[in-house]
Structure 1
C-alpha cells in the first residue's frame, strides 16, 4: 500500500472515531440530561472525559496484532483476496469507512440511535463481494445474534431494575438525591464502556492497513489519536439522538434513567466479557429506556418511535452494504481510468 493511501486510511479512521463519538457516546448521558440530573454542558464534558479514559483503558488491555484486527473486523476473506494488491485493500477500507460515516451522519440527522459496528460490518460485506471474495457471513450472523440478545436483555433487566427501584422508593431512606447521585455514576459507567468498546474499531482498521503497507512508528500514537478523536466527538454532543432517547421514547424520571443506564452498562459488559462480540451502546441504552418506561405501564412508551428505531437497526447492515459496494465500484472505476 502506498504511503499516501495509508495516510488517507489513517485520517479517515480518525474521522470515523470522531463521528462515532458525536453519534454514540453522548447517548450515555442522554438520560441524565432528560431528568435534569446534570446540566447538558456538564454531562457532555463528563462523557467526553470518560470516553477518553475508557478508550485508553480498552486499548491498553488488548494485544494489537494484524491477526487480532482481521478477526475483530471479519476481514479475513477481504485481506486474503487483496493480498497481491494492497492498494485495492486500501481503497476497500476507505469505501467501508465512508459508508459507515455516511450512515452515522444520516441517522444522527434523523435523530435515530444506530450501531456503528453494524454499519461497518455491513459495509465490509458489500465491499468484499465487489472484490470477488466470499463474504464472512458468519461474522454478520454472530453480530445479529448479539444485537438480538443484547436489546432483549437490556430491556428485561431495566424492567426488573425499575420495579426494584419503585419498591425501594417507598422507604424514606431512599431519596431523590440518592437516585441522582447513582444515576451520575451509572451514566459514567456507560460512557466508559463505550470508550472501551468502540475505540477498537478505528484502531483495527489502521492495523489492517499498516500490515499491508509501511507500518507506522508504533501503535501508541495511533491509540492516543483514536482516544482523543472519540472524546472530541463526544464533547460536541449528538443532540438530536439525545432528544430521541431522553424525551421522545418515554417521559423519563430519575429512577427510570438510573435503571436504563445500569442495564445498558451491564449488557455492554456482558458483550465485552462473555459474548465475544461488541454490544452497541445505542442498542443497549435505547432498549433499556424502553424497558424502564414499560415498567410503569406500556402506555408510557411511545411505540411508534421505538418501532422506527428498530427499523433503522434492521436496515443498517443492508444499507451500508449497498453503499459500501457502490463507493468501491466508483473508486475502482476511477482508478482504472
Structure 2
C-alpha cells in the first residue's frame, strides 16, 4: 500500500471516528439532557471525556493485531483475496469507511438513531460482491443474531427495571434525587461503553491498513495513531448530535428521569454482554432506542409514539441493504482510478 493511500485510509478512519462520536452522542446524554439531570454542556463534556477514556481502555485491554482486526470486522475473505494487491485492499478500506460515514451523516440529518456497525457490515457486503469474494458469513451471522436478539433483551430489561423503579418510588424508597443521581451514573456507564465498543471499528481499519503497509504495530507511531482515534471519538461526542437527541428524548416518548435510568441501565447491560460475553459488536444506538421504548411501555403503551418507533425500525432494516448498494457503487468507481 502506497504511503498516500495509507494516509487517506487513516484520515478517513479518523473522520469516521469523529462522526461516530457526533452521531452517537445521543446514546450517552440524550436522557440526561431531556430529563435535566445534567446541563447540556456538562453532559456533553462528561460524555466526550468518558467516550475517550472508554476507547483508550479498549486499547489497553485488547491485543491489537491484524488477525484480531480482520476477525472483528469480518473481512477475512476480502483481506485474503487482496493480500497480493495491497493498493486494491487500501481502496476497499477507503470505500468501507466512506460508505459508513455517508450513512451516519444521512441518518443524523434524518434525526434517526442507526447502527454504525450495521452500516459498515452492509458496505462490506457490497465490497465483497464487487471484488468477487464471499462475506465472512460466520462472523456476520453472529452480528445479525446479536442485532436481532439485542434490542429485544434491551427492551425487556428496561421494562422490568422501570417496573421496579416505579414500585420503589411508590413505596418512597426511591426519591427524585436518588433517581437523578443514579441516572447520571448510568449515563456515564453508557458513554464509557460506547467508547469501548464503537472506537474498535475505525481502530481495526487502521490496524489492517498499517499491517498491509508493513508497519510495526508495536511502534510509537502506531500507538499515537490509535490514541488519536480515541480522541476523535471524544471530540465528535463533544459536538453532540442534537437531532437524534430530540428523537430519543422527545419524539419517541416524553422521557422522565426514571425512564432514562431504566433505559441507560438496560443499554449498558446489553453492551456489556456483547463486548465481554459474545465478543461481538453491539449497536449502542439500537440498545438505547429499544430500551427507551421498553421503559416507555412500562408506563403505558400510549406513552410511546409508535409512528416514530416504526421509522426507527425501518431504518434499522434498510441499513444493511442500502449500504451494500452504496459500497458496491463506490468501489466500482474507485477501482476505475489509475493504478487500482
Q: Deviations over 1:200-227 (max 9, x none)?
A: 1111101111111141644311221011
Partner of 1:81: 81
Partner of 1:97: 97
Regions of 4+ moved over 6 Å: none
Partner of 2:121: 121
Partner of 1:250: 253
Match of 2:272, SS? helix
Partner of 1:206: 206
CA RMSD of aligned residues (A): 1.2
Distance 2:55 2:84 in 1: 33
Partner of 1:269: 272
Aligned length: 337
Matches within 5 A, 1:149-168: 149-168=149-168
Q: Deviations over 1:293-335 (max 9, x none)?
A: 0001111111110011011011111111110110010011123
Partner of 1:5: 5
Conserved in 2, the CA contact under 8 Å of 1:26 and 1:47? no
Give the deviation of 1:336 after TM superposition.
6.2
Distance 1:330 1:120 in 2: 18
Which stretches in structure 2 are left out of the alignment for 5+ residues?
none
Conserved in 1, the CA contact under 8 Å of 2:71 and 2:139? no
Match of 1:335, SS? coil
Matches within 5 A, 1:212-223: 212-215=212-215, 217-218=219-220, 219-223=222-226
Distance 2:252 2:338 in 1: 46
Partner of 2:20: 20
Distance 2:223 2:85 in 1: 27
Partner of 2:262: 259
Match of 2:139, SS? helix
- Asked whether 1:40 is paired with 2:40, we answer yes
Partner of 2:287: 284
Distance 2:322 2:248 in 1: 23
Q: Deviations over 1:236-273 (max 9, x none)?
A: 00000000001111111111110000000011001111
Partner of 1:333: 336
Distance 2:131 2:191 in 1: 37
Distance 1:72 1:207 in 2: 11
TM-score (norm 1): 0.98
Partner of 2:243: 240
Deviates more, 1:167-176 or 1:80-89: 167-176
Partner of 1:187: 187
Match of 2:7, SS? helix
Partner of 2:108: 108
Partner of 1:131: 131
TM-score (norm 2): 0.97
Partner of 1:231: 234
Deviates more, 1:110-119 or 1:132-141: 132-141
Partner of 1:296: 299
Give the deviation of 1:82 after TM superposition.
0.6
Distance 1:85 1:152 in 2: 42
